[in-house]
Structure 1
Amino acid sequence: MSAAQTLQRQLREFQKNPLPGFNVELKEDNIFVWDIGIFGPPDTIYEGGYFKATMKFPEDYPFNPPTFTFNSEFFHPNVYTDGRLCISILHPPTPDPMSGERPEERWNPTQSVESILISVISLLTDPNISSPANVDAGVMYRDDREKYNEIVRKEVEKSKRDIPENVAIPKSAEDFIIKNKPEIEEDESFWYDDEEVDDEWDEDYMSDE
Structure 2
Amino acid sequence: MATSQSTLLLQKQLNELLKHPVEGFSAGLADNDIYEDYPLMPPKLRFVSDMWHPNVYPDGEHPPGEDKYGYEDAGERWRPIHTVETILLSVISMLSSPNDESPANIEAAKEWRENYPAFKKRVQRIVRDSIG
Please give the range of the TM-score, normalised by the shorter of the 2 chains.
0.7 to 0.9
The aligned residue for residue 117 of structure 1 is: 88
Aligned residue identity for 1:19: V
Q: CA RMSD in A?
A: 2.2
Q: Share of identical aligned residues, percent? A: 38
Q: Which moved more, 1:112-121 or 1:67-76?
A: 67-76
Counterpart CA distance in 2 for 1:97 and 1:78 is 12
Counterpart CA distance in 2 for 1:144 and 1:85 is 26
Q: Which runs of 5 or more residues in structure 2 are unaligned?
A: none
Q: Relative to total residues, which structure has the larger strand share, 1 or 2?
A: 1
Q: Are the counterparts in 2 of residues 76 and 138 from structure 1 also a CA contact under 8 Å?
A: yes
Choose 1 or 2 for highest CA Rg.
1
Counterpart CA distance in 2 for 1:132 and 1:83 is 14
The aligned residue for residue 61 of structure 1 is: 38
The aligned residue for residue 20 of structure 2 is: 17
> Residue 83 of structure 1: which of 44, 59, 78 is its match?
59
The aligned residue for residue 205 of structure 1 is: none
Aligned residue identity for 2:20: N
The aligned residue for residue 184 of structure 1 is: none
> Residue 49 of structure 2: which of 54, 72, 82 is its match?
72
Counterpart CA distance in 2 for 1:64 and 1:105 is 13
Q: Are the counterparts in 2 of residues 73 and 83 from structure 1 also a CA contact under 8 Å?
A: no
TM-score w.r.t. length of structure 1: 0.55
> Residue 11 of structure 2: which of 8, 12, 19 is its match?
8
- Between the two proteins, the alignment pairs up a number of residues equal to 128
Cα deviation digits, residues 37-56 of structure 1 (max 9, x gap): xxxxxxxxxxxxxxxxxxxx
Q: Are the counterparts in 1 of residues 41 and 78 from structure 2 also a CA contact under 8 Å?
A: yes
Of the two structures, which has the highest relative contact order with CA contacts closer than 8 Å and spacing of 6 or more?
2
Counterpart CA distance in 1 for 2:29 and 2:67 is 36
> Residue 131 of structure 1: which of 76, 80, 102 is its match?
102
2:111 is the counterpart of 1:108: no
Deviation at 1:97, TM superposition (A): 7.5
Cα deviation digits, residues 103-149 of structure 1 (max 9, x gap): 43121221111111111111111111112111111111011111101
Counterpart CA distance in 1 for 2:116 and 2:14 is 38
Q: Which runs of 5 or more residues in structure 1 are unaligned?
A: 33-57, 162-209
Counterpart CA distance in 2 for 1:18 and 1:120 is 16
TM-score w.r.t. length of structure 2: 0.82
